[in-house]
Chains A and B, each alone.
Chain A
Amino acid sequence: MSDRATCSVIIDGMPFEVDATISVAAALMNAGLHIRRSVTGEPRAALCGMGVCHECRVTIDGERHRRACLTAVAAGQVITRDE
């Protein structure tokens, strides 16, 4: 794991070093973060992992409602959780 390529992304304004090849959902969950809050404020993370449930939706590079489980991380990516 130590020789895997990494890249820097910004999550809610804070820099994170993540594995360069993984999905945004995996990056968020590996960092111990929940992905979104439900309409009544519950913390949520990925459920279906394949783009069906939309629990993993986040804003990526200004584009809202991106499914994080279907999106790869990229250097300099700006990820904002809809808190």
Chain B
Amino acid sequence: MNDVTRFDVVVVGAGPGGLAAAVTASAGTSSVALIDEGAAPGGQIWRRDVHAGHSLEGREWTAALAKTPVVTLDRAAVVDVESGAGRHRLLVQRDGRTMMVESATVILATGARELFLPFPGWTLPGVLGVGGAQAMAKSGLEVRGRRVVVSGSGPLLVAVAASLAKRGADVIAVVEQASPGMMFRFGAGMIAKPRTALEAMRFLQELRGGTLRFGRWVARALGRTRVEQVVITDGSNDQVVDCDLLCTAYGLVPNTELARLFGCRSRGTGIEVDIHQRASIDGVYAVGECVGVAGVESALIEGMVAGQAAVGLTPSDFVLRRRDQARRWGRKLDEVFALRPEVLGLASADTIVCRCEDVRLGAIDPSWSRRQAKLYARVGMGACQGRVCGAALQRIHGWEEDVARPPLQPVILSALTGSAAGALTGAH
């Protein structure tokens, strides 16, 4: 029962970054593992649609993966790590059991999650994220005929709205909080990226005229047991629209928990890496959105860079320059979609901000640190371990980043056996 499976390279996360890293590394060694929580590779943006299958790019890379000897561990979550003697051990929970995976080289491609900013009514069933709505639709949520509002911020809004419209949803409104002036800058910037511009135009074609509005946001969701109406505002004028599916999120937050559990340094915007994607802990690399939100191209190139470096190859200057270019695009996006202060102030005192423990904003003293809020009001002590409320309250109350503690996901005690149990209760 004390099995430890060793690999030359372990990749965590099977989105674009992880797929590129695993496929690239497997050109230099046949001993590669790819660990992912989902049911199949693809991550979020390349999530396989249960009916339509993969997108073109997703199919290309998952087909490339299938041609390699990479061992893919689906439905597997890394819950703890232990480093020492030149190797890293990962405790993985999968199908109600735990297993240990070990390697000298770990490539982290843990991606990003959505930023949810609380507002009155956001806990009603039928309120989803934007990427979240896409994920649910790809996993079989029926949206045909549903009255949909997409709101928040970022390039995902239009892309997801178009996708839902193609699935037969009645997309009533797409409201982006960024001002028209900011969006003009975004549009102008796309002259340098014709492929992105073309894609954006294709998305806009799916939407009825007048659907997309800027400088607006959803101030509240109304309904008894599920969302029935939403209030759209520009700060002065409110508009109430019937809606039974609200898709709302304010951009992406990098998933840095696992990297920080290893002890890697991270800035607020992502894990620190050098030019070859090496993080600050020996043998650990990081690529893609968890290094900083910058899109698919960035993740793919960085995955390739890390995959090469991990097997002792030197990435070419050409590839590194393309990587830097892709990162610069990401920073441009941050500027254009910067959040206006109003969307940080939508919650009232009796709006629930910690959904796991039903803690309302008014129960949290603004002068408290994150740790004090946890101890005095239970904020962040629930199942999501502060991933949802923490990101919001960091921006609302100026909290510091949380300390990463194991287990990274709730672990069923009965799943722990022998040395696995010892690892979790041991040296932290």
Q: A-side interface residues toward B, CB under 8 Å?
A: 4, 19, 21-23, 25-27, 29-30, 34-35, 38-40, 42-55, 57, 63-65, 69-72
Tell me, rounded to whole Å, the shortest Cβ–Cβ distance linking B84 to chain A.
Answer: 29
Tell me, rounded to whole Å, the shortest Cβ–Cβ distance linking A61 to chain B.
Answer: 9
Provide 25 A-B residue pairs closer than 8 Å at the C-beta atoms, listed in order of the A residue: A4-B51, A23-B39, A23-B139, A23-B140, A29-B125, A34-B125, A34-B225, A40-B358, A44-B123, A45-B125, A47-B116, A47-B132, A48-B129, A48-B132, A48-B388, A49-B132, A50-B44, A50-B132, A51-B37, A52-B114, A53-B384, A53-B388, A57-B383, A65-B412, A70-B75
Interface pair A52/B113, CB less than 8 Å apart? yes
A-B contact count (CB 8 A): 120
Chain B residues with CB under 8 Å of A34's CB are 125, 225-226
Chain B residues with CB under 8 Å of A30's CB are 140-142
Bound form: Cα–Cα A80–B116 in Å: 28
Tell me, rounded to whole Å, the shortest Cβ–Cβ distance linking A26 to chain B.
Answer: 4
Interface pair A21/B388, CB less than 8 Å apart? no
Interface pair B126/A45, CB less than 8 Å apart? yes
Chain A residues with CB under 8 Å of B303's CB are none
Residue of B whose beta carbon sits closest to that of A62: B96
Give the contacts of B1-55 with A (CB-CB under 8 A).
Answer: 37-39, 44, 50-51
Given A48-B116, A54-B356, 12 further pairs, Cβ under 8 A: A22-B139, A23-B50, A23-B136, A27-B140, A29-B136, A29-B141, A47-B388, A49-B128, A50-B132, A52-B387, A53-B384, A70-B75
For the residues of A in contact with B, the DSSP-based class is loop
Interface pair B355/A38, CB less than 8 Å apart? yes
Chain A residues with CB under 8 Å of B157's CB are none
Tell me, rounded to whole Å, the shortest Cβ–Cβ distance linking B239 to chain A.
Answer: 24
Interface pair B358/A38, CB less than 8 Å apart? yes
Q: B-side interface residues toward A, CB under 8 Å?
A: 37-39, 44, 50-51, 75, 96, 113-114, 116, 123, 125-129, 131-136, 139-142, 225-226, 352, 355-358, 382-384, 387-388, 410, 412
Tell me, rounded to whole Å, the shortest Cβ–Cβ distance linking B140 to chain A.
Answer: 3
Given A53-B355, A63-B412, residue A25 in contact with residue B123 (CB < 8 A) = no
Tell me, rounded to whole Å, the shortest Cβ–Cβ distance linking B347 to chain A.
Answer: 15
Residue of B whose beta carbon sits closest to that of A34: B125
Interface pair B129/A47, CB less than 8 Å apart? yes
Bound form: Cα–Cα A10–B126 in Å: 23
Interface pair A21/B412, CB less than 8 Å apart? no
Chain B residues with CB under 8 Å of A44's CB are 123, 125, 355
Interface pair A63/B96, CB less than 8 Å apart? yes
Interface pair A19/B140, CB less than 8 Å apart? yes
Chain A residues with CB under 8 Å of B44's CB are 50
Chain A residues with CB under 8 Å of B225's CB are 34, 43
In the A-B complex, the 5 residue pairs with the closest CB atoms: A22-B140, A49-B132, A49-B135, A45-B125, A54-B383
Bound form: Cα–Cα A57–B44 in Å: 19
Interface pair B139/A26, CB less than 8 Å apart? yes
Tell me, rounded to whole Å, the shortest Cβ–Cβ distance linking A31 to chain B.
Answer: 10
Given A43-B125, A47-B116, A51-B37, residue A69 in contact with residue B135 (CB < 8 A) = yes
Our pick among A26, A57, A64 for the contact of B141 (Cβ within 8 Å) is A26
Tell me, rounded to whole Å, the shortest Cβ–Cβ distance linking A83 to chain B.
Answer: 14
Tell me, rounded to whole Å, the shortest Cβ–Cβ distance linking A64 to chain B.
Answer: 7
Chain B residues with CB under 8 Å of A49's CB are 128-129, 131-136, 139
Bound form: Cα–Cα A4–B225 in Å: 30
Given A46-B136, A49-B131, residue A54 in contact with residue B142 (CB < 8 A) = no
Interface pair A50/B113, CB less than 8 Å apart? yes
Chain A residues with CB under 8 Å of B134's CB are 49
Tell me, rounded to whole Å, the shortest Cβ–Cβ distance linking B354 to chain A.
Answer: 10
Chain A residues with CB under 8 Å of B140's CB are 19, 21-23, 26-27, 30
Interface pair B114/A48, CB less than 8 Å apart? yes
Tell me, rounded to whole Å, the shortest Cβ–Cβ distance linking B79 to chain A.
Answer: 13
Our pick among B51, B128, B384 for the contact of A21 (Cβ within 8 Å) is B51
Tell me, rounded to whole Å, the shortest Cβ–Cβ distance linking B352 to chain A.
Answer: 8
Interface pair A25/B139, CB less than 8 Å apart? yes
Bound form: Cα–Cα A53–B386 in Å: 9
Residue of A whose beta carbon sits closest to that of B49: A21
Bound form: Cα–Cα A51–B128 in Å: 13
